[in-house]
Amino acid sequence: MIDRNELLEAALDSLPEGVALIGMGDEVVFWNQAAQGITGYAGIEVLAQPLPEGLEALFDEARRKEDETPGMTQTEVRRALVQARHKLGHGLPVITRVLVLRDGLGERIGAAALFHPAEGLDALPHGESGQNAGAEEGREEFEERLQAEFEDSTRGGAPVGVLWIGVDQAQELGKTHGAAACRTMLEKVRRALAVGLRPAEEMCSWGDDEFLVLAHERSVEMLAAHARMMAGLARTTDFRWWGDRVSLTVSIGAAQAVSDGVETLAQLLERARQAMEASARGGGNRATVAATSDQRPAAAEEESTCSPS
């Protein structure tokens, strides 16, 4: 009879993503072949030991979430771009997704990280997709332009910034009124936001209920003002579904590329995503300016609440 644990380990070992499991004391209890290939650390070097220095970042997002929301019941943390360190000492940017593992009583018993190297356009962080078939439309061309203009800005071209926009009511509307209402509402928001685009700007769906704007404001302050204006456009949009009036608001994260040329496009987008999530955690209907890449987001948030009209 095949041992169940052996079967599970074989399945996890076959995954192309790195898989790391840690227990209550943060000791490593599982480390698959892909994790070894990505980090340079063999399983025999890490099992039953704390994570090697430089790899703690794999679980930082989960720890941060638990610090912000003690006793949270949510087990999954959305993927994040983190800076780890390879065994040979060089920097290792990876995309990681963390699952907080709990027993039947809801007590934390460990955590699991699934991660892969952040390389190329495919590594750019996106919003969650899967329900909206139109979310992918035009994204490849948008990413190519985003990459080209980001690279141009690092060579002294026009400043590049991004606005990561999440629609606050999307998930709830989908539950209460259905997918058709949600799609109609998102199209209404998209058209409202498009009115606020500058002539050289472009916007693309960046997930089921999120949008990304490529902006060229000359300063972070101007980018923040632009984000507040876009939030106001969404807030004043009138949306009705079968007689029900739904008040719309958005959460926006604004980030401008740094001029030192060290930051990658993926890191810029990750700063914007984290700022958008900070806006959402603050109740939505606001814009948050992202911290620079060498700061924790919470240390440099500049929030602008949009009061209802």
The string of pLDDT tens digits covering residues 226-236 is 999 999 999 99
pLDDT, tens digit, for every residue of 155-189?
A: 888 899 999 999 999 988 888 888 899 999 999 99
Q: Specify the range with the lowest mean pLDDT, choosing from 90-99, 100-109, 133-142.
A: 133-142
pLDDT band at 249 (very low <50, low <70, confident <90, very high): very high
Please tell me the predicted confidence (pLDDT) of residue 266.
86
Residue 20's pLDDT band (cuts 50, 70, 90):
very high
pLDDT of residue 67: 52
pLDDT exceeds cutoff 50 at 39: yes
Mean pLDDT (the chain) is 82
Q: Does 127-305 match 4-117 at the fold level?
A: no
Query: Model confidence over 55-66: pLDDT tens digits?
Result: 988 887 666 655
Helices (H) and strands (E) in the chain, counts: 9, 13
| pLDDT at res. 78 | 60
Query: What CATH number does the domain located at 127-305 have?
Result: 3.30.70.270
pLDDT at position 260 is 66
Q: Is 301 helix (H, G, I), strand (E, B) or coil?
A: coil
Is residue 297 very low, low, confident or very high in pLDDT (cuts 50, 70, 90)? very low
pLDDT beyond 90 at 207: no
Alpha helices in 14-59, H assignment, sequence order: 33-39, 43-46
Own/partner contacts of 189-192, CB < 8 Å, gap of 24 or more, are 189/234, 189/237, 189/248, 189/250, 192/233, 192/234, 192/236, 192/237
Contact 75, 100 (CB under 8 A): yes
Mean pLDDT of 12-20: 89
Q: Output the pTM of the full model.
A: 0.63
pLDDT band at 71 (very low <50, low <70, confident <90, very high): low
Domain ranges of the chain: 4-117, 127-305
pLDDT average, residue stretch 93-102: 85
Pick the CATH number of 4-117 from 3.40.50.1370, 3.30.2130.10, 3.30.450.20, 3.40.50.80: 3.30.450.20
How confident is the model over 279-294, as pLDDT tens digits? 999 999 999 999 764 4
* Residue 125 near residue 95, CB atoms below 8 Å: yes
pLDDT band at 8 (very low <50, low <70, confident <90, very high): confident
